Amino acid sequence: MYRTLDIRSALSLGLRIPQGASRLVPQSSSGSILLVLFLLFLICVLVAVLKSPLFSNSPEVDAGDPQDVPDQCATKELSETRGSKADSGETPLAAPPRTNLLSSIGNMMASTLVARPVPIPEPSTLIDRAPDVAPKLEKPEAPWPVKQPYDAFLVLDVEATCQEGTDFNWPNEIIEWPVCLLRWRHKDMEGRAKELYVADEFRSFVKPTWKPELSAFCTSLTGITQADVDRAPKFAKVLESFKEFLVRNGLIDAVTGEKRQRFAWCSDGPFDIRDFVVKQCFISKIQMPEWLKGDVLDVRKVVTYYLALQEADVTGTGTRQPRIVFPKPGMPAPKRRSLNIPQQLRALSLPAFVGRQHSGIDDTRNISRIVTELAKRGIRLEPNTTIYPGRRWQWMGKPGQILEEYCFI
């Protein structure tokens, strides 16, 4: 198919072949000649296209081609039109400039590669979209109710005898028994609720037996006078009256005393039932009733945990409220300063304390306001403090006997 050409034949065809080199070419050289001519034709066409006005910023006009010569009449009419618009005050229309096709294509490709700046919103838009920073320790009402395991709450804040300089280890005797009964206004079939109201109240003064005379310090602190306790029944009789209160509200059975509804005791701190009630049952030589036993909802501990969680999320940027996890019985409270009732009201952005502080019924009503607010904020209310009815102090002798040598003042 191929044959070797000598140098003379190669030179006659116009090919440059180095000395001593041999070349292989097709037997028919007509095909190669046609290919070379076709390539030359393409080069000429490309050169002609590049010189055309379409690829030039200042297009040349060929004088020999009558189609490329602009019409003088049309040019004159255009000039007159621009002059008349300028005289009339109108802005003349500029002739559309001729652009280089290659430069236009290059600009389009460059514009797609260059990063476009991100539009910055106006300052007012930034302000409108900024999250609302709620004041510290404040949370709005929960948009949905949570499951509440208890049907009712008995809020209790007793007042007891005291001497100046004594603490909770002293043999205090209860002198006021106030209770607020809280119920859910609406509770669905799945137990979800968030609105509590005061359904009933109970209040009775109690006559002390070990130290029947109230100290001036006790009267000044509680507002309870000697006349109030002198005409009051003893603790055992008060419990009987309160049992009738529970039966009337459908909380316990009149005969057996068993619970007919699931209710929980609430107090400000663990002291009322853990300390005062246990000591009073020992002094009165009575067994603690079954409806009085059980774990207690320490409201102060709940508020302490709630505020600790709010301090961890003071911005309130979340769309949903974080799940509130509260301690179970036996779990310690966070290490922070304990808040009394007025401070709890202030921390929850509630109105100030209503009534007289250390008045049993007034304390109970304000604690009920705190419990109601906690429920409104979507907090699950359940006992968190264990009560030990058999707890003993060193001043306890036989049932009802107080060893005064151990009562330090």
Catalytic machinery residues: 159, 358
Structure tokens at 133: 């920073």
Burial of 194 from C-beta contacts in 10 A (0-12 / 13-18 / 19+): buried
The whole-angstrom separation of Cα 168 and Cα 271 is 8
